[in-house]
Structure 1
Amino acid sequence: MISNNELVSIVVPIYNAEIYLSKCLKSIASQTYEHLEVILINDGSTDGSGDIARSFCETDTRFKLITQVNSGVAAAREKGLRLVQGKFVIHADSDDLMAEKAIEYLYKSIVDNESDIAIGAYTKQCNIGEEFVTHHTCDKHDFIHNILTGKYHSGLWNKLIRTELCRDISFNESINYMEDKLFLSKVLKKDDIKISIINENVYYYRLVTSSYTNNISSDSISSSIEVTNKVCNIFQDIYSNEFIAHIKNKNKLMVLLNSQRTQRGIFPESNKYLLEDKNIALRHKIIIVSDLLHISYPIKFYKLLSSIKFKSSI
């Protein structure tokens, strides 16, 4: 039985976010659902983020500040998760905003549907405009499918989760890119989880786009490969070899288009499924095959054309 006034925990990892942090925390403090605890993890910031976070704690007892040496976003999320006391937990990123009724909407969805996870719509903001993003399935299997293919975002900021589902799951502290996707996959793999969907806006996801290509760090590339491998292992007993190969080949393509790294030795088992994959465009198959054959010109040409097209749209 869920009461109408259960404590909800919000975890906010913070690292050098002084430009955005005050607005982020104001959006949390202004929630219409007031029974909150807000755990701020200052991950070794060297700017004024710590002072901003501390000022919120001094004026609002729901806010709690924990400071640690810089250890990465996964370690910050893990630290916060181990401290939460709420019946439900959600994460917020320090450069984003929560919609005023976010927790009210998500909590009501869980109560009304007796669900374990409530997922809300969100507004994606970038320097060329806004996009309102909704979801269209409550079936867990379909939802996982859409997360794996990238149709749905795996961020934890629009998902209110029953805390007990997270107690035996941890963030891998060596993974600081797509760490949320790996964590969410572990939660979704659990049996008898019920998902509810709402199409009210709960979050403003800020995405500052600086370049179409070559804007992902080497560590992030490595993390994406590791997460893809781990996530595929989690769901390999649910999905076909062809679908798992599709996910791996999509990751290869992402790496090839956003770095200078070859993928010839990565996920070799997925190569035999590439040409028959109807969900990967021919031009993208050419990119992957070119890499396998040690031919770099098609990749460079494609990236050049993509960069020109991106610049012309700004």
Structure 2
Amino acid sequence: MSDGPLISVILPVYNAEDHLDEAISSIATQSEEDFECLLINDGSTDGSLDILESWQQKDARFRVISRENKGLVATLNEGVRLSVGRWIARMDADDICRPERFGEQLRFAQQNDLDIVGARCRVFGARSGIDNYPETNAECRAGMFLWKTPFCHPLVMAKREVFELFPYEARFGHIEDMELWARMVISSPFKMGNVPQVLLDYRLHEKQISSLHADRQMAEGNELVKWMFDSVGFDYSDEEFALHAESRLRRVRSFSGSSQMKVYAHFLVRLQSMLEREHGRGDLVGDYWMRLCKRNRGINGGVPLDSGL
């Protein structure tokens, strides 16, 4: 048994002075106190380093690592190498943890024998609302084939061996988290899940990469799901995948009533069979289809996939 802390928190920081103190404060006030927090300054040019060093001086659980800019993927992997906790938790420099976050995630993971655990988050800023994530391992895995992200990245906590066996990779530079989850779905037995309650306030603003690089994220997401299909031997035509990508954009109405609609329906029937066989969650495809129909004003009357389109 390790003599180190139960949890290592990895907090990458790059020019984040505006909200950094609030983010770190939310870690310092966790009800689960057995943690270390690695504050990794990734070449900031603002006042971020001063804030980090002030926390290191007043709370021994916080440790500052400061060096030139290397980017998020390198910073996250460095954090894993330098950490000593049995669990590793992610956190971003502009979000706010609820006080019970660490404790609730550990409890839920232990109760459900999970290796990696997330939770719901409250989004605020440029958009507001509650983002829900799949509660069970089967839904986390199957949902990725239907464009469903299994986790809110800054809310993830995982056993050390998860990140040691699956380091972040830079081949998909703007969706490094989704690429990691995809590799786990395809290549590992690690069990995933999400606490069914809000444990993070997720700040959404224009500076974030998700806003600045949306087109590139979309293209990389398409490449990633293609790779997942290929990895499990699921066959598809170029037309079928183009329609699947179009459905992700909620533009199904553009091929409503045409032969393309039948092509896509038959593709989904095959996908439904594969997800039922591999994960026991073929029902997610039917739910996906019905939501698309409703969002596009009742395409084909919102009929079930097995109705003979």
Fold similarity call, TM over 0.5:
yes
Read off the aligned partner of 1:155 and give its amino acid letter. C
Question: Which residue, out of 125, 143, 157, partners 2:154?
Answer: 157
- Provide the residue aligned with 2:278 in structure 1: none
Q: Deviations over 1:285-306 (max 9, x none)?
A: xxxxxxxxxxxxxxxxxxxxxx
Contact 1:31 1:102 in 2 (8 A): yes
- Provide the residue aligned with 2:197 in structure 1: 200
In the TM superposition, what is the alpha-carbon distance from 1:47 to its structure 2 partner? 0.2
Read off the aligned partner of 1:277 and give its amino acid letter. Y
Q: Deviations over 1:147-186 (max 9, x none)?
A: 4434445432222211102212222246441111112222
Question: Which residue, out of 236, 251, 275, partners 2:230?
Answer: 236
- Provide the residue aligned with 1:306 in structure 2: none
1:108 and 1:248 mapped to 2: Cα distance? 42
Contact 2:140 2:193 in 1 (8 A): no
1:179 and 1:205 mapped to 2: Cα distance? 18
Q: Identical aligned pairs, as a percentage?
A: 22
Matches within 5 A, 1:184-195: 184-195=181-192
Q: How many residues align?
A: 260
1:185 and 1:208 mapped to 2: Cα distance? 26
In the TM superposition, what is the alpha-carbon distance from 1:133 to its structure 2 partner? 2.6
Question: Which residue, out of 165, 169, 175, partners 2:166?
Answer: 169
2:23 and 2:201 mapped to 1: Cα distance? 10
2:55 and 2:111 mapped to 1: Cα distance? 32
- Provide the residue aligned with 2:284 in structure 1: none
- Provide the residue aligned with 1:79 in structure 2: 78
In the TM superposition, what is the alpha-carbon distance from 1:242 to its structure 2 partner? 4.2
Contact 1:99 1:203 in 2 (8 A): yes
- Structure 1 residues 52 and 169 mapped into 2: Cα distance closer, same or farther (>3 Å)? same
Gaps of 5+ in 1: 258-271, 285-314
State the superposition RMSD in angstroms: 3.6
In the TM superposition, what is the alpha-carbon distance from 1:122 to its structure 2 partner? 1.2
Question: Which residue, out of 146, 153, 164, partners 2:143?
Answer: 146
- Structure 1 residues 146 and 226 mapped into 2: Cα distance closer, same or farther (>3 Å)? same
Read off the aligned partner of 1:131 and give its amino acid letter. G
Contact 1:179 1:227 in 2 (8 A): no
2:90 and 2:240 mapped to 1: Cα distance? 29
Read off the aligned partner of 1:192 and give its amino acid letter. P
Contact 1:121 1:135 in 2 (8 A): yes
Q: Deviations over 1:222-264 (max 9, x none)?
A: 4653454245324534373349986766657889x9xxxxxxx
Secondary structure of the corresponding residue to residue 107 of structure 1: helix
- Structure 1 residues 242 and 126 mapped into 2: Cα distance closer, same or farther (>3 Å)? farther
1:94 and 1:244 mapped to 2: Cα distance? 40
In the TM superposition, what is the alpha-carbon distance from 1:205 to its structure 2 partner? 1.0
Point out the structure with the larger helix share. 2
1:172 and 1:191 mapped to 2: Cα distance? 16
Secondary structure of the corresponding residue to residue 277 of structure 1: helix
1:135 and 1:174 mapped to 2: Cα distance? 25
Contact 1:123 1:131 in 2 (8 A): yes
- Structure 1 residues 18 and 163 mapped into 2: Cα distance closer, same or farther (>3 Å)? same
- Structure 1 residues 105 and 234 mapped into 2: Cα distance closer, same or farther (>3 Å)? same
1:81 and 1:41 mapped to 2: Cα distance? 11
2:166 and 2:189 mapped to 1: Cα distance? 16
1:115 and 1:14 mapped to 2: Cα distance? 28
Read off the aligned partner of 1:138 and give its amino acid letter. T
Read off the aligned partner of 1:22 and give its amino acid letter. D
Given the alignment of the two structures, is residue 133 of structure 1 paired with residue 120 of structure 2, yes or no? no
Read off the aligned partner of 1:83 and give its amino acid letter. L
Please identify, of 41-50 and 143-152, the stretch whose mean Cα deviation from structure 2 is larger. 143-152
Read off the aligned partner of 1:216 and give its amino acid letter. L
* TM-score, L = length of structure 1: 0.70
In the TM superposition, what is the alpha-carbon distance from 1:51 to its structure 2 partner? 0.9
Please identify, of 24-33 and 72-81, the stretch whose mean Cα deviation from structure 2 is larger. 72-81
- Structure 1 residues 100 and 275 mapped into 2: Cα distance closer, same or farther (>3 Å)? same
2:95 and 2:11 mapped to 1: Cα distance? 10
Q: Deviations over 1:266-298 (max 9, x none)?
A: xxxxxx9887225578x99xxxxxxxxxxxxxx
2:37 and 2:59 mapped to 1: Cα distance? 10
Secondary structure of the corresponding residue to residue 161 of structure 1: strand
- Structure 1 residues 233 and 200 mapped into 2: Cα distance closer, same or farther (>3 Å)? same
